Amino acid sequence: MVVTQSTYTVGEDFTGAAAVVSDLGEPERPFTLIRGASHGHHWVGPGLLRAWAGDAPFAAVTAGA
């Protein structure tokens, strides 16, 4: 799970999330990483999603399928 923080989610407990970010970011306007690993990326794109999926246990990745 990847969480983008908003006024509705500030203060929530996202234990188990691969990352908590300010927003998805853009190449010219990077996100702020609140918790987790950015794997050297500054915006959410296919490469970062693959990296986060690789961090998650198999059961967690397939649980929502």
Contact 64, 17 (CB under 8 A): no
Residues 27-65 as b/e (b if ≥16 CB within 10 A, e otherwise) read eeeebeeeebebeebbbbeeebeebbeeebeeeeeeeee
Residue 62 scores a pLDDT above 80 = no
Cα 19 to chain centroid, rounded: 3
**pLDDT tens per residue, range 19-52:** 999 999 999 999 999 999 999 999 999 999 999 9
Task: Output 57 or 24, whichever has higher pLDDT.
Answer: 24
Contact 52, 2 (CB under 8 A): yes
